[in-house]
Amino acid sequence: MWPRRRQESCSMPKKRFGLDLRLPLSAAMLLALVIASAASLQAISPARAGVEYPWCAVYSEWSVGATNCGFTTLAQCRATISGVGGMCVENPAYQPPAPRKPRKPRH
């Protein structure tokens, strides 16, 4: 009879393009550690404050009394509430940007 070919078990990784894709156990553990560390560092990064806009639209009570503080100008806020009712007020949480220091002229 012909010699039988050795059958590979299911647990052996296949060779692809002539390369052995098996990693030593320590390399696989190191890779898992690096991925876990990167994920945990991303999760503990400080929260960034959202952009605060200076004007809020407070819609009338018949539309549930909602508030939208996403307007850069009073005119933009007024255009949004026209026809639906409500009023525009200054955003109490708005902090204007700090004035920049003048740059020294270069000689």
Express each pLDDT in 27-61 by its tens digit: 767 777 777 777 666 666 555 556 689 999 998 76
Say if CB 58 and CB 78 are below 8 A apart: no
**How high is the mean pLDDT of the chain?**
75
**Residue 67 dihedral angles phi and psi, to the nearest 5°:** -125, 140
Query: What is the residue extent of each domain of the chain?
Result: 55-90
Rounded to whole angstroms, the Cα distance separating 4 from 10 reads 18
Say if CB 22 and CB 13 are below 8 A apart: yes
Say if CB 68 and CB 51 are below 8 A apart: no
pTM: 0.45
